[in-house]
Amino acid sequence: MELQQAGSDFTVDAGRSWAAPLRRNGGWIAAAALLALAPVFIGGYELFLLCSIVSMAIALLGMNVLIGHCGIISLGHGALFALGAYAATLSLTRLGVPLLLVPLVAGLVCFVFGRLFAVAALKLEGMPLALATLGLAIVMPQLLRSDLLARWTGGVQGVSFTRPPVFRGVPLGDDAWLYLVTLSYLVVAFVLVHRLLEGGTGRAWRALRDQPLAATAMGVPARRMRDLAFAISAMLTGIGGALAAMQVQYVAPDSFPFALSLALFIGVVVGGPGSRIGPLLGAAFLVLIPNFAEHVSQAMTGAIYGGVVIALMALEKRGLAGVFERIQGLIFRAVRRRAPDRASSHLQPGDKA
């Protein structure tokens, strides 16, 4: 009898251990499922915009690691986005890498580049470091235009290519399959970053961000952890750039101006630095708001875009993640208020509440 009881307790505990993560991440699982079903309901330009949001979210996820969790300001991630795009293009056109592995190759290239850049640049801190990354964003387009690299980059004209089919003989269109591949990379990236942030690496990053002197005194290897954060951030940004290039099937230096680095920085801040949902919200903002502003007035696109940014940050300093949390809190409070009313309505006159 005791053995049966122990066995039933073990079964209950095992069920709870499996159910707890599902309860905590149920909203994320539902959101991923809805996004995966998107090609069934939309296509054409709408699917193109959604795919752009997903690839941009991967890049912002990388920047969020650096800015939101490490407190390191970077104004040069547009250069890493460009590096990932060109690495993907060369992998497809010169090396014949399978399409599904191209973003991984681009991410590896950016990881190595980011690691090397971090060795030199992260000797600096604060504004000098931000200026060093700013220089990277300014230099990269010039390098891509130079005659020295024109053999691989195409120079000013850039490189256009035809994307091979993702899968042959399947009912979904190629654009829909590319979207699902991009979404899969986003899900994997979110899971990996979440595991890092919940473990010792994430705690070390946050300690260096909030109390750098105390963290160093307790034995946290500050230089190594910051180098790792920059390399992982570069890798994710490069994967986002690779997927964006595969979507448009064209890369050129003019596609990656300095303004792209500023846009990525704005996306992190507007989305909400350090929040889990911030990269996705920031990516949606970067893709949709300029399109909305252009539809309103082509002559005032920049003014409308800037005005929305100013208004949003004035109303909620935590960005769109803060707005999302407020709405979520209002919904939960409304549900909790209705729950007691429903319970009392089911009581019989002779019952006790």
Instruction: Give pLDDT tens digits for 151-180.
Output: 888 888 889 988 887 766 666 777 888 899
The Cα 178–Cα 349 span in angstroms is 60
Instruction: Give pLDDT tens digits for 191-213.
Output: 999 999 998 898 999 998 888 88
pLDDT of residue 150: 87
**Band of pLDDT at residue 18, cut at 50, 70 and 90:** very low
The Cα 187–Cα 191 span in angstroms is 6
- Is it the case that residue 251 has pLDDT exceeding 90? yes
CA 104 to each of CA 91, 99, 176, 223, 246: distance values in angstroms, whole numbers, following the listed order: 10, 10, 20, 26, 13
The Cα 353–Cα 343 span in angstroms is 9
- Is it the case that residue 341 has pLDDT exceeding 80? no
- Report the predicted TM-score, pTM, of the whole model to 2 decimal places: 0.86
pLDDT of residue 11: 41
∠ CA 145-148-152, nearest 5°, is: 75
